[in-house]
Amino acid sequence: MRPREGVVLVLALWRCAGLLLSSVCLCAGMEEDCIFGIVGQAVLLPCLSHELLTVENVSIEWRKDDEVVLRSVWDENGNVETQSVKNATILADASHTGNFSLVLPVVHPREDRMHYRLFFVSGQNQSSPLCTVCLRVAVSFSVPLLEREHTTVNDETTFLCHSTGGYPKPVVYWLIDNAQEPPEGSVRTQTTFDPNSHLYHITSNLTIPISKDVNVSCTVESMNATMRHRYDPGPVVSRASEAMWLFSTALCVVVGIMVIAGVAYQIHLDKISKKRKKECQQPKRGYKRRWQYREESEAMMSESKETEV
């Protein structure tokens, strides 16, 4: 290899390395400029620009792609006139502080990966973007519901993992005894998208031959580790045993009701029996009183005859 060719090769390698490094830095910078917003909550898109502090009659526009989200105009006296879409706001003294950050009162999943840009407007002219902020939207999924069902086919057990109301599209991970991954082909995952709320619902099935004392966990992960939920069921109960528990509980309730009804009926019979006894005793007492009255009358009559004699 000639010396000149060696120099050219070294320069080419350095150029490739520089391009690669620039690409990495560019990607990192784009990721840093993204702001994460939670669905249904307010979010602040930061923007500091000191270029407009020396400009009179400042007029700015915040745009979401090609849509104007907010337009503000400051006059020489510092008065501001603002027009916004969906109640977006900025600070009233932004022209004096240089803080032109935009506040969105509510974040919607449709705004995910949208780019917001701040422009300085002078008449019909528009400057290059003074600030560019990308918005990433997320909302946590519900805590996964994990159920277990024993099947008779090949003595296998099916686990069902279900989670709802999250964004963006999640990924499901299964672990056996918190360490072992399930065998290939044993997991079937279905993700559905709600067109009204723009949120995702996910259902995942794991079917494997497994003993009862083995612990299985399901993890629903969205937006890396920031929207991650883990549910470890510990000892789980099959649907058959759960149905048996419900049946035994219902049986206990029915037996309790029957016992209470029997006791109440027995008390009612006792009251009727006592009432009849009282009714039977009343004529005897009346007959006894009449007999005593007869004896007393005969005794008085005998005394009156003896007195006459």
179 and 110 in a common domain: no
Contacts of 240 (CB under 8 A, 6+ apart): 150
**Residue 261 lies inside a defined structural domain of this protein:** no
Beta strands in the chain (DSSP E): 34-38, 43-45, 59-64, 67-74, 80-84, 102-104, 114-122, 125-126, 131-138, 145-150, 157-166, 171-176, 187-193, 200-208, 216-222, 227-231
> pLDDT value at position 7?
37
168 and 121 in a common domain: no
> pLDDT value at position 302?
63
Weakly modelled stretches of the chain, pLDDT under 50: 1-31, 225-227, 235-240, 286-287, 309
Beta strands in 125-259 (DSSP E): 125-126, 131-138, 145-150, 157-166, 171-176, 187-193, 200-208, 216-222, 227-231
What is the radius of gyration, based on Cα positions, of the chain? Answer: 44
134 and 171 in a common domain: no
> pLDDT value at position 163?
92
> pLDDT value at position 12?
42
- Name the domain boundary from 111, 138, 165: 138
- Name the domain boundary from 117, 138, 159: 138
Q: How many CB atoms lie within 10 A of CB 117?
A: 19
Structure tokens at 147: 């159920």
Query: Per residue in 22-73, pLDDT tens?
Result: 333 333 333 456 899 999 999 999 999 877 666 667 788 999 988 999 998 8
> pLDDT value at position 74?
81
CA distances from 127 to 57, 65, 72, 251, 270 (A): 15, 15, 15, 79, 100
Give the count of domains, the chain: 2
**Residue 23 lies inside a defined structural domain of this protein:** no
Structure tokens at 94: 């932004």
- Determine the Cα–Cα distance for residues 119 and 138; give it in Å rounded to an integer: 27
- Determine the Cα–Cα distance for residues 110 and 107; give it in Å rounded to an integer: 9
CA distances from 113 to 32, 52, 168 (A): 13, 28, 11
Domain that holds residue 55: 31-138
- Determine the Cα–Cα distance for residues 118 and 101; give it in Å rounded to an integer: 9
| Contact of 140 with 193, CB cutoff 8 Å | no
The single-letter DSSP state of residue 64 is E
134 and 46 in a common domain: yes
Tell me, what CATH number does 212's domain have?
2.60.40.10
> pLDDT value at position 290?
56
Q: How many CB atoms lie within 10 A of CB 84?
A: 18
**Residue 275 lies inside a defined structural domain of this protein:** no
